[in-house]
Amino acid sequence: AEILGVTFQEMLPKSREVFIGCKRDSSFWEVILVGMWGIFVNIYEDVALKLAGVWREEIMWMFQSLKWYQILAGARGESSIHFESLIDIVEKIQEIFVSFPEITEIDINPAFANEKNAIIVDAKLYLKY
């Protein structure tokens, strides 16, 4: 691969981290996943999974179904993350994934979200070869 450039972006202050993923396989077709980042995904397996083609209300339901949802929604006096921005990201990632069948998997771990915004921090796309 040839790298044509690198982009640096400001970090979101006081944010919470989220996992967003897409996977394509012969058993499950195309699926969209959301969950808490890192240890929560890897050890606690706290993820919500749906077939691709979800709309905004379903994406919100996916976040609400997580065991750690209250942390995202603002537990113990913390403010809620900006779910609308996070839902926008999931919608756009889903659109890219469904539009390009050569992408077998997308792994965004983490995306940062705070009360005003959400950004992708680390993204991996896996292609058929």
What is the phi/psi pair of residue 26, to 5°? Answer: -70, -25
Residue 12: the pLDDT is 63
Nearest to 118 by CA among 88, 76, 97, 78: 88
Contact of 40 with 68, CB cutoff 8 Å: yes
The Cα 72–Cα 17 span in angstroms is 9
**What is the β-pairing status of strands 103-113 and 47-51?**
unpaired
The Cα 126–Cα 38 span in angstroms is 19
Angle (CA) 69-75-79 rounded to 5° is 100
pLDDT tens digit sequence for 32-89: 999 987 777 778 888 999 999 999 999 999 999 999 899 999 988 889 999 999 999 9
Rg of the chain over Cα atoms, rounded to whole angstroms, equals 15
In the block, which residue shows the tokens 């990201």?
Answer: 89
Question: To the nearest whole percent, how much of the chain has pLDDT over 90?
Answer: 64
